[in-house]
Amino acid sequence: MMERATVITLCIHDAKAKAPISLLELGLGAASGKMLVVCPEGFWKRGNIQVVCQRFGISMLNNEQDLMIAVEKKLK
């Protein structure tokens, strides 16, 4: 369904999680131009996520509230 989606959100809530499926989904959707990401400080792969976001122009947001605002903007 990622191909059909207008916006793809990736929100990692727990810095202690490994989140392998979320990391896979980031890789699959990074080039789509549809992604928005929230990743907490201390997440073990945060640096990798930052690099992917920078490379593909993905907004990396601070929290879920910022994510909701960004989703609204993308949908307009």
* CATH code for the domain in which residue 67 is found: 3.40.50.450
Average of per-residue pLDDT across 38-44: 96
Q: Would residue 2 count as lying in a domain? A: no
The residues pairing with 37 across neighbouring beta strands, listed in sequence order, are 10, 60
Count of domains for the chain: 1
Q: Would residue 48 count as lying in a domain? A: yes
- The whole-angstrom separation of Cα 31 and Cα 62 is 21
Q: Which domain covers residue 26, as residue numbers?
A: 8-75
Average of per-residue pLDDT across 37-66: 97
Which runs of consecutive H residues, i.e. helices, occur in 1-76?
A: 20-29, 46-56, 64-75
Average of per-residue pLDDT across 3-11: 96
- Strand order, beta sheet including 59-61: 8-11, 35-38, 59-61
Task: Please give the mean pLDDT across all residues of the chain.
Answer: 96
Q: Would residue 19 count as lying in a domain? A: yes
pLDDT over 70, % of the chain? 100
Q: Would residue 12 count as lying in a domain? A: yes
- The whole-angstrom separation of Cα 35 and Cα 71 is 9
